[in-house]
């Protein structure tokens, strides 16, 4: 510890040692550099052409450079400005005025531990500017990224306000390790999910809703997002680079006049659609049909009474009186639409106020945001305050310090959606579809849940259950950068991340969970703290035709998290909820947990540009992680890349000069990265408490945890080797540009939790075994088809193809199944050699048995009793692949794939005078979705309501020829095999956002800019998917179970109106 602290301290002391630094000189040229506004320009690089000498301007724009004999020209370059070359006249100062760069090739791209100009990149890196990010007014940055970056597939878990998004870069390469990329915010890695610190949702087993950990970042504060995709770019992040790296850079104050910017916008959200289910009349008819069918197909001596007879019957309590029992017709016009009862129009208010400015001594940006997002389901709300302070200061000529710090506090009121349950705890969306439309909104005389199945009344559930997460979060990225010599820079980053969440839940006795428990309360807290120290030396040197840049560094990270949770039940009433848990007569012991992990890394990178034609990058990182035993603690992640700037070859000169071709670059790279998403202490055997009791006294008991498996000291990283070839082209004065990448990734030593013989006393063991390959193609085309004085149209389109394949599972295993997806135990996700992760496996239907003759003719039914034969009429016929006369697990086959064939996005910007119009079309093609809503409703004729389609398709005595769904029958024997009945094509094309804005010109100078806009989100979606929305991915980051709709929170359409003013 002492050594560690000493090391950090030492890094600080270094600057003060290097205080009195100046340079030697030979033939000296001096001068001054100004920007396009005539302001002095700091940190302009001044280099001699053909030589190696180099200087920077100071804060007054002055420079002094000693040039070699024979040097005739000086080059002035600065980020964001056009390069300028001036001839030397000895003894005369050279003063320069820079101009803004128009070439996107000079855009600065943030790469790991440094920056590069786009034209000098050797790796595959996509950049999204802050302006492009906020098109469509996303409330969080991940939704803003959707469809805009090739090779990056952003899906939402569901439409929960503040809910999580899943980002997958170039396909899945892990079963267990997660596929989230590494997020680096202002240079500091940010641990997403803080998995160890997020208290498990102890209640409502199977609940999968998670919150978006990046929601603390206000999209308006983002300068740019750079996604590192190929291994030459990501290998510098070593053990965390395998899923790609997303580098988020927040805004800084710009030089010039101080400004105040205010953004206000209000959004009105409504559900994208309602699913058509039966009204009360149809429902009562169907229920009656269910009982009469039961009486017909399974006759018993005393036929069962219809549930909705529509006649007078003797009262059960008073035999002398008659009571009227309602029939279907009595419900005409008296139907409860449960979806309407729980849906609403949700209003979002989003306010940002920021102050920024800068001069030669530094810059600042202070911004505050308030977001209040009411979801389209009653009671759901995401509420957040955040504040950011980004400050940079040039303390000395050679020393810059900076701090980018943000604080956010949010409360997310969740409603139960997106969960695996098929019993009482199904969640409000499934319940709203299934709940009987003949019931009243609230009837205190009856039970508040349907006793037969205990599905809770969705309206009561949504209004009375408390389920909220409060998060307070600080993320602070700080640095000191010292220019030690003109070639050598030292930078020390220190990052602090703190995250605290509190989950509070209360289930009153009116709902399933709280009913027998007499009120059920949970509280869970989690804390996460992380400290990162990164020390970097950057050495830049030009030698003859070589332009070197060398980075070397060492980093240290320390993560610690704690959780605790407690549970109580049996409350005297439902008034105090979880706020006074001591009021529960029954409680479980508190559970606490603490984990800690460290990573120490050394890294280095050399880039060399030879004659501005051949670019080489070599990088290396070595990571040591506390999560592994000594033998596997250190791993090494090398990479190499080569790029050929064909454009600068002599034979391209004519094209170049005529502005036909502005850029042509070929890139090749290879690199190795890792995935260390393995939990702490995985190599330990764990003893956990297994108490016993003797003669009425509790005694301590301890034993190995059979579910965490035997200790495996051999655990190591999942390792990915990636090859990439890319081509960048730019034509016609940069009016048209093209970026294409083709890649091949191969991941080995996959982490797998394999089942081991239970006779060992363990159920499973975590091992490294198996291989996965991903290959793909990403294309991006950008163009400016029209550019006149008043009218500009630019367009940008991207399309990505990825193919995933399991090469081996290890252990000679040919196939296995991913974890089940519901409480019935269905496991449609198969992992088989030669198939992708996400392949679906199940049975095939041969239609519906039309009549008894068809049942009798089916060999599968041979030997069945008459009673069974009879009741099978109108039931699903499953295909007997092996013709052995029984439907067994051997009759399963591949029935789908949740991986898209391709995903795409198309952005158009039109600007005419003061108007501008922007729209984004985005979509996915060829992916399947598992619709668990339809699974939940499938059993026609039981208690639950069904969809109109299911009703129309059901077998009846009249619709027996064309039936596609089983008959209505009230029974308990029907069970469903998993077939395409529950899998649908999830392809969609969507008008993701449209924004129309107008720059208001005012006579007054008070406003520098006043812009008003209106935008629409998710206005049009074209899809065959019958659920609420095809952009659904219930299991979030779990690559092994993507594309499952588990009664997720319905997505919403949003209309925003807003104003942006700059003073």
Partner 1 sequence: MFNVYSNYHKTEAMRLKKFLIGIYSMSFFVLAASCNKTLQETPYSFLSTANFYKNADEATAAVNGIYNTFWGWGLIKQPYWLIDLDCDHAYGAEWFLGNIGEGNPSAFWGINNIWADHYLIISRANAVLENIENASMDDDLKNRLKGEAYFLRGWSYYDLACIYGGVPLHIKTLASGDQAEMPRATVLETFNQAISDFKMAEQLLFVASDSRSGEKGRVTKGVAQAFLAKAYLTLASGSLKDASISIQGGPDNASYAYQKDVVSGYEGLDSKAYFDSAKAECLKVINSGEYSLFPNYMDLWTVANRNQTEWMWEIQALAGNSNLETNLYYYFNCAPSDRSYVGACWMSDNHYKEYEHNDTRILNGVAHQYIVDYGQPQYTNYILYPQEDTAIYKTDAQGNTYRFDGTYYDRAYSNKFSYVTDPGTSYSDNYFPMLRYADVLLMFAEADNEINGGPTADAYKYLNMVRTRSKASPAPENISQQDFRSFVFAERGREFTFEAKRRYDLLRWGVYLQVMNKLGVMKQGQDALTKVRTSRNLLFPISTDEINTNRSLGGNNPGW
Contact positions with partner 1 (CB under 8 A) in 621-680: 624-627, 630, 633, 680
From residue 240, how far is each of 155, 176, 643, 803 by CA, in Å?
21, 14, 25, 22
The distance of closest approach from Cβ of residue 317 to partner 1 in the complex, given in angstroms and rounded to an integer, is 6
Within 310-329, the residues that bind partner 1 by CB under 8 A are: 316-317
Within 827-886, the residues that bind partner 1 by CB under 8 A are: none
DSSP 745-812: EEEES-EEEEE--GGGT-SEEEEE--EEEEEEEEEEEEEEEEE-SSEEEEEEEEEEEEEEEEEE-STT
Q: 419 and 209 in contact (C-beta within 8 Å)?
A: yes
At 359, list the tokens.
Answer: 């001069």
With CA atoms as reference, report the closest residue to 425 among 646, 589, 204: 204
Within 460-499, the residues that bind partner 1 by CB under 8 A are: 484-485
Within 899-938, the residues that bind partner 1 by CB under 8 A are: none
Residue 439 in the binding site for partner 1 (CB under 8 A): no
For partner 1, the closer CB: 256 or 624: 624
For partner 1, the closer CB: 18 or 255: 18
In angstroms, the CA 575 to CA 466 distance is 12
SS3 state of residue 457: coil
Residue 597 in the binding site for partner 1 (CB under 8 A): yes
SS3 state of residue 292: helix
Residues near 2 by beta carbon (within 8 Å), at least 6 away in sequence: none
**Pairing assessment for the beta strands 876-878 and 893-897 based on DSSP bridges:** unpaired
At 751, list the tokens.
Answer: 């982490």
Residue recorded with tokens 């992760």: 837
Residue recorded with tokens 């890349």: 641
For partner 1, the closer CB: 707 or 791: 707
- Of 347, 441, 687, 857, the residue at the interface with partner 1 (CB under 8 A) is 687
At 635, list the tokens.
Answer: 């791993």
Which of these ranges, 426-434, 684-692, 781-789, 1043-1051, lies near partner 1 under the rule CB under 8 A? 684-692
Within 257-316, the residues that bind partner 1 by CB under 8 A are: 316
Burial class (CB in 10 A: 0-12, 13-18, 19+), 42: buried
The distance of closest approach from Cβ of residue 763 to partner 1 in the complex, given in angstroms and rounded to an integer, is 7
Q: 230 and 124 in contact (C-beta within 8 Å)?
A: yes
The distance of closest approach from Cβ of residue 543 to partner 1 in the complex, given in angstroms and rounded to an integer, is 18
Burial class (CB in 10 A: 0-12, 13-18, 19+), 102: exposed
The distance of closest approach from Cβ of residue 115 to partner 1 in the complex, given in angstroms and rounded to an integer, is 23
With CA atoms as reference, report the closest residue to 503 among 568, 589, 413: 413
In angstroms, the CA 413 to CA 381 distance is 5
DSSP 368-412: EEEEEEE-SBTT-EEEEEEEEEEEEEEEETTEEEEEEEEEEEEEE
For partner 1, the closer CB: 468 or 569: 569
Which of these ranges, 125-133, 695-703, 826-834, 948-956, lies near partner 1 under the rule CB under 8 A? 695-703
Within 708-767, the residues that bind partner 1 by CB under 8 A are: 710-711, 754-763
Residue 90 in the binding site for partner 1 (CB under 8 A): no
The distance of closest approach from Cβ of residue 2 to partner 1 in the complex, given in angstroms and rounded to an integer, is 9
For partner 1, the closer CB: 490 or 902: 490
Residue 698 in the binding site for partner 1 (CB under 8 A): yes
The distance of closest approach from Cβ of residue 56 to partner 1 in the complex, given in angstroms and rounded to an integer, is 16
Residue 106 DSSP class: G
The distance of closest approach from Cβ of residue 677 to partner 1 in the complex, given in angstroms and rounded to an integer, is 16
The distance of closest approach from Cβ of residue 707 to partner 1 in the complex, given in angstroms and rounded to an integer, is 11
At 988, list the tokens.
Answer: 């969609």
In angstroms, the CA 495 to CA 477 distance is 4
State the CB neighbour count (10 A cutoff) for residue 495. 24
- Of 299, 303, 590, 691, the residue at the interface with partner 1 (CB under 8 A) is 691
For the chain, how big is the Rg over CA atoms in Å? 32
- Of 64, 202, 598, 959, the residue at the interface with partner 1 (CB under 8 A) is 598
For partner 1, the closer CB: 693 or 1005: 693
Q: What is the 3-state secondary structure (H, E, C) of 400-443?
A: EEEEEEEEEEEEEECCCCCECCCCCCCCHHHHHHHCCCCCCCCC
Residues present in the chain in total: 1063
Which of these ranges, 1-9, 242-250, 437-445, 466-474, lies near partner 1 under the rule CB under 8 A? 1-9
Residue 515 in the binding site for partner 1 (CB under 8 A): no
For partner 1, the closer CB: 318 or 1004: 318
For partner 1, the closer CB: 517 or 920: 517
From residue 826, how far is each of 158, 454, 928, 950, 1001 by CA, in Å?
21, 22, 17, 21, 62
The distance of closest approach from Cβ of residue 395 to partner 1 in the complex, given in angstroms and rounded to an integer, is 19
For partner 1, the closer CB: 7 or 912: 7
Per-residue x/- mask for partner 1, residues 761 to 800, rule CB under 8 A?
xxx-------------------------------------
Which of these ranges, 692-700, 731-739, 933-941, 975-983, lies near partner 1 under the rule CB under 8 A? 692-700
Within 17-56, the residues that bind partner 1 by CB under 8 A are: 17-18, 20-28
The distance of closest approach from Cβ of residue 476 to partner 1 in the complex, given in angstroms and rounded to an integer, is 23
Within 992-1051, the residues that bind partner 1 by CB under 8 A are: none
With CA atoms as reference, report the closest residue to 404 among 478, 341, 460: 478
- Of 260, 440, 688, 853, the residue at the interface with partner 1 (CB under 8 A) is 688
- Of 276, 329, 594, 1024, the residue at the interface with partner 1 (CB under 8 A) is 594
The distance of closest approach from Cβ of residue 396 to partner 1 in the complex, given in angstroms and rounded to an integer, is 15
For partner 1, the closer CB: 777 or 833: 833
For partner 1, the closer CB: 733 or 815: 815
SS3 state of residue 545: coil
Residue 611 DSSP class: T
Residue 684 in the binding site for partner 1 (CB under 8 A): yes
Residue 176 in the binding site for partner 1 (CB under 8 A): no
Q: 367 and 387 in contact (C-beta within 8 Å)?
A: yes
Residue 14 in the binding site for partner 1 (CB under 8 A): yes
For partner 1, the closer CB: 689 or 962: 689
SS3 state of residue 463: helix
Residue 105 DSSP class: G
Residue 1057 in the binding site for partner 1 (CB under 8 A): no
The distance of closest approach from Cβ of residue 680 to partner 1 in the complex, given in angstroms and rounded to an integer, is 7
Within 574-593, the residues that bind partner 1 by CB under 8 A are: 592-593
DSSP 298-333: S--SSPPPPSS--EEEE-SS-TTSEEEE--GGGGTT
- Of 370, 539, 556, 738, the residue at the interface with partner 1 (CB under 8 A) is 556
The distance of closest approach from Cβ of residue 689 to partner 1 in the complex, given in angstroms and rounded to an integer, is 8
In angstroms, the CA 194 to CA 209 distance is 15
Return the bridge partners of 794, or none: 909
Q: 274 and 339 in contact (C-beta within 8 Å)?
A: yes
The distance of closest approach from Cβ of residue 994 to partner 1 in the complex, given in angstroms and rounded to an integer, is 51
State the CB neighbour count (10 A cutoff) for residue 911. 16
Using CB under 8 A, count the residues that bind partner 1.
Answer: 76
In angstroms, the CA 793 to CA 333 distance is 53
Residue 600 in the binding site for partner 1 (CB under 8 A): yes
Residue 971 in the binding site for partner 1 (CB under 8 A): no
The distance of closest approach from Cβ of residue 596 to partner 1 in the complex, given in angstroms and rounded to an integer, is 7
At 555, list the tokens.
Answer: 């980093």
Residue recorded with tokens 């002095």: 40
The distance of closest approach from Cβ of residue 697 to partner 1 in the complex, given in angstroms and rounded to an integer, is 7
Within 61-80, the residues that bind partner 1 by CB under 8 A are: 66
The distance of closest approach from Cβ of residue 686 to partner 1 in the complex, given in angstroms and rounded to an integer, is 5
Residue recorded with tokens 């070359």: 85
């Amino acid at each position: 510890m002492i050594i560690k602290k000493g090391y950090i301290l030492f890094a600080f002391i270094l600057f003060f040692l290097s205080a009195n630094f100046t340079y030697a000189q030979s033939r000296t040229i001096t001068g001054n550099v100004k920007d396009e506004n005539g302001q002095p320009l700091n940190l302009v690089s001044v280099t001699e052409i053909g030589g190696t000498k180099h200087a920077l301007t100071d804060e007054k724009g002055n420079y002094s450079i000693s040039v070699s004999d024979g040097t005739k020209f000086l080059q002035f370059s600065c980020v964001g400005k056009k390069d300028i070359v001036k001839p030397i006249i000895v003894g005369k100062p050279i003063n320069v005025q820079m101009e803004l760069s128009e070439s996107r090739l000079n855009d600065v791209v943030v790469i790991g531990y440094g920056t590069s100009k786009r034209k000098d990149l050797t790796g595959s890196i996509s950049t999204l500017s802050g302006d492009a990010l906020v098109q469509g007014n996303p409330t969080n940055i991940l939704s803003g990224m959707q469809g805009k970056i090739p090779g990056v597939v952003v899906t939402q878990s569901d439409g929960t306000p503040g809910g999580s998004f899943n980002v997958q870069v170039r396909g899945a390469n892990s079963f267990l390790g997660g596929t989230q990329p590494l997020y680096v915010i202002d240079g500091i890695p940010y641990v997403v999910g803080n998995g160890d610190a997020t208290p498990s949702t102890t209640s409502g087993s199977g609940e999968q809703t998670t919150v978006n950990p990046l929601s603390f970042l206000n999209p308006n504060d983002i300068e740019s997002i750079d996604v590192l995709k190929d291994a030459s770019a990501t290998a510098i992040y070593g053990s965390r680079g395998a899923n790609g790296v997303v580098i988020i850079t927040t805004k800084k104050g710009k030089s010039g006049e101080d400004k105040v910017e205010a953004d206000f916008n209000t959004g009105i959200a409504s559900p994208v659609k309602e699913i058509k289910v039966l009204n009360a009349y149809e429902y009562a008819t169907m229920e009656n049909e269910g009982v009469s069918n039961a009486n017909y197909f399974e006759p018993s001596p005393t036929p069962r009474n219809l549930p909705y007879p529509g006649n007078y019957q003797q009262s059960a309590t008073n035999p002398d009186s008659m009571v009227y029992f309602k029939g279907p017709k009595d419900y005409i016009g008296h139907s409860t639409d449960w979806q309407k009862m729980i849906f609403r129009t949700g209003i979002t208010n989003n306010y940002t106020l920021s102050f920024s400015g800068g001069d030669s001594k530094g810059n600042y940006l202070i911004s505050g945001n308030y977001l209040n997002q009411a979801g389209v389901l009653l009671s759901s709300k995401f509420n957040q305050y955040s504040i950011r302070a980004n400050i940079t200061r040039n303390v000395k000529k050679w020393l810059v310090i900076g701090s980018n710090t943000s604080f956010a506090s949010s409360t997310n009121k969740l409603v139960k959606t997106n969960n695996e349950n098929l019993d009482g705890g199904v969640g409000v969306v499934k319940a709203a579809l299934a709940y009987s439309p003949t019931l009243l909104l609230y009837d205190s005389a009856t039970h508040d849940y349907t006793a037969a199945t205990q599905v809770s009344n969705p309206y009561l559930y949504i209004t009375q259950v408390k389920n909220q997460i409060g998060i307070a979060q600080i993320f602070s990225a700080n640095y000191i950068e010292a220019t030690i010599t003109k070639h050598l820079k030292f930078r020390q980053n220190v990052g602090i991340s703190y995250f605290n969440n509190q989950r509070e839940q209360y289930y009153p006795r009116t709902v399933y969970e709280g009913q027998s428990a007499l009120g059920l309360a949970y509280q869970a807290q989690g804390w996460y703290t992380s400290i990162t120290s990164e020390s970097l030396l950057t050495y830049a040197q030009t030698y003859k035709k070589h332009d070197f840049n060398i980075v070397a560094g060492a980093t240290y990270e320390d993560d610690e998290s704690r959780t605790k949770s407690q549970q109580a039940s049996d409350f005297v009433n439902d008034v105090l909820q979880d706020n006074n848990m001591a009021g529960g007569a029954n409680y479980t012991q508190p559970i606490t947990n603490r984990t800690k992990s460290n990573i120490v890394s050394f890294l280095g990178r050399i880039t060399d540009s030879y004659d501005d034609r051949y670019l080489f990058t070599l990088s290396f990182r070595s990571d040591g992680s506390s999560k592994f035993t000594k033998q596997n603690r250190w791993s090494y992640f090398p990479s190499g890349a080569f790029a050929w700037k064909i454009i600068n070859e002599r034979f391209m000169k004519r094209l170049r000069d005529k502005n036909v071709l502005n850029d042509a670059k070929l890139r090749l790279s290879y690199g190795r990265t890792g995935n260390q998403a393995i939990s702490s202490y995985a190599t330990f055997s764990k003893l956990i408490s297994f108490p016993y009791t003797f003669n009425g006294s509790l005694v301590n008991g301890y034993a190995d945890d059979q579910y965490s498996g035997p200790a495996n000291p051999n655990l190591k990283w999942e390792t990915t080797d990636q090859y990439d070839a890319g081509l960048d082209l730019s034509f016609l004065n940069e009016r048209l540009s093209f970026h294409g990448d083709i890649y091949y990734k191969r991941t080995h030593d996959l982490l797998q939790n394999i089942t081991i013989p239970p006779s060992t006393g363990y159920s499973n063991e975590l091992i490294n075994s198996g291989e996965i390959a991903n290959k793909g193609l990403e294309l991006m085309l950008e163009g400016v088809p029209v550019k006149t004085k008043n009218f500009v149209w630019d367009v940008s389109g991207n399309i990505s193809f990825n193919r995933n394949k399991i090469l081996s599972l290890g252990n000679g295993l040919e196939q296995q199944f991913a974890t089940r997806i519901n409480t019935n135990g269905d496991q449609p996700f198969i992992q088989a050699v030669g198939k992708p992760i996400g392949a679906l496996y199940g049975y095939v239907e041969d239609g519906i048995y039309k009549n008894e003759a068809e049942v009798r003719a089916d060999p599968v039914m041979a030997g069945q009793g008459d009673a069974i034969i009879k009741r099978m009429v109108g039931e699903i016929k499953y295909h007997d692949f092996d013709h052995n006369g029984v439907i067994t697990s051997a009759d399963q086959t591949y029935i789908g794939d949740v991986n898209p064939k391709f995903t795409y996005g198309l952005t158009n910007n039109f600007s005419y005078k003061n108007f501008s119009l922007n729209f984004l079309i985005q979509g996915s093609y060829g992916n399947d979705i598992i619709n668990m809503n339809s699974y939940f409703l499938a059993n026609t004729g039981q208690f639950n309501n069904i969809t109109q389609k299911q009703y129309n398709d059901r077998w009846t005595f009249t619709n027996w020829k064309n039936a596609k769904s089983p008959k209505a029958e009230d029974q308990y024997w029907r069970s469903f095999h998993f077939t395409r009945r529950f899998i649908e094509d999830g392809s969609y094309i969507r008008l993701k956002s449209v924004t129309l804005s107008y720059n208001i010109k005012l006579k007054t100078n008070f406003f520098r800019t006043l812009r008003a806009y209106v935008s629409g989100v998710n206005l049009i979606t074209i899809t065959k998917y019958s659920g609420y929305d095809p952009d659904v991915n219930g299991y979030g980051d779990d690559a092994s179970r993507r594309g499952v709709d588990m009664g997720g929170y319905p997505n919403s359409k949003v209309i925003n109106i807003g104003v942006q003013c700059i003073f």
